[in-house]
């Protein structure tokens, strides 16, 4: 998800129009629109980003960090994101060790002596974790799309997803129209195996027999059956036995086709 998409999503969540945001930040509506759609020729200034952070109630510095990261060459951006991920893991290790006093009784004193504090990192938005696009998923009838035999996290193509912490997340391209109007053919959807699934969630469904996949809203019915409900009213729902499904993964992000 790009800087512009993040700004647009937050604005819509706050039920603000472009006119309202324009009046608050002192920049024109057409210019703000080009930022949100990614068609801007001149990147937004730090001044504008700070104003947007305040108006849209972002944590101070979030949009600045993201914008500066997006302007980096790809190789440098990868290094920065990799370092940030390692630091976050190290912080969690330190936090776990401190909470286990029986194993590391002197760790807090060591950190203090080195003028370090085991504080959780502040809220951040990065340019996004690279998520592998494994293949396609049918928004219609279940179809024989496989995972291209790639290891987890590896593919020929990737999409970025901000603030994603599931290392097993994957993305697929939508084929068909049964999930319209929310999801259109060609959209890339990111799914997280770690996300909890509840009734009504849009999900990637993997069948055990035969080896097929589908993209549908999921509803858990009685007798361990699962209703797979299309969003497009032209398509009828189908029922599947729970034992015939070996994976249900919740959709957590969408990248619209251009």
Judgement on whether residues 17 and 63 belong to the same structural domain of the protein? yes
59-77 residue pLDDT tens: 888 888 888 777 766 666 6
pTM of the model: 0.50
- Is 242 part of a structural domain of the chain? yes
Judgement on whether residues 192 and 81 belong to the same structural domain of the protein? no
Judgement on whether residues 218 and 145 belong to the same structural domain of the protein? yes
Q: Give me the pLDDT at residue 61, please.
A: 87
Judgement on whether residues 83 and 180 belong to the same structural domain of the protein? no
CA-wise closest residue to 203 among 145, 158, 107, 139: 139
Judgement on whether residues 81 and 167 belong to the same structural domain of the protein? no
| Structural domain total, the chain | 3
CA-wise closest residue to 225 among 209, 239, 212: 239
Angle (CA) 84-87-92 rounded to 5° is 130
- Is 119 part of a structural domain of the chain? no
- Is 118 part of a structural domain of the chain? no
Judgement on whether residues 216 and 157 belong to the same structural domain of the protein? yes
Range(s) of the domain holding residue 216: 129-255
Low-confidence ranges of the chain (pLDDT < 50): 102, 123-125, 142, 144-154, 258
Q: Give me the pLDDT at residue 147, please.
A: 47
149-200 residue pLDDT tens: 444 444 557 777 766 778 788 888 888 899 999 999 889 999 999 999 999 9
- Is 83 part of a structural domain of the chain? yes
């Amino acid at each position: 998800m790009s800087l512009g998409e993040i700004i647009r999503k937050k604005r819509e969540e706050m039920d603000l129009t472009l006119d309202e945001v324009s009046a608050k930040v002192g920049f024109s509506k057409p210019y703000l629109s080009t930022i949100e759609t990614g068609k801007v020729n001149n990147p937004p200034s730090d001044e504008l980003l700070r104003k947007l952070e305040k108006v849209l109630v972002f944590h101070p510095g979030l949009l600045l960090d993201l914008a500066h990261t997006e302007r980096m060459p790809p190789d440098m951006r990868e290094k920065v994101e990799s370092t940030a991920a390692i630091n976050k893991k190290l912080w969690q290790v330190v936090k776990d060790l401190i909470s286990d006093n029986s194993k590391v009784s002197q760790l807090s004193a060591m950190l203090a002596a080195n003028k370090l504090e085991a504080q959780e990192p502040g809220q951040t938005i990065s340019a996004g974790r690279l998520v592998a696009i494994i293949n396609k998923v049918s928004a219609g009838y279940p179809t024989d799309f496989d995972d291209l035999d790639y290891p987890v996290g590896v593919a020929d193509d990737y999409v970025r997803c901000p603030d994603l912490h599931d290392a097993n997340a994957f993305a697929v391209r939508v084929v068909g129209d049964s999930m319209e109007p929310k999801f259109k053919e060609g959209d890339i959807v990111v799914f997280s195996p770690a996300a909890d699934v509840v009734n009504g969630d849009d999900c990637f469904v993997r069948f055990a027999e035969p080896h097929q996949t589908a993209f549908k809203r999921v509803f858990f019915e009685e007798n361990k059956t699962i209703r797979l409900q299309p969003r497009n009213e032209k398509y009828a729902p189908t029922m599947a036995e729970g034992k015939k499904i070996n994976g249900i993964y919740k959709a957590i992000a969408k990248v619209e086709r251009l």
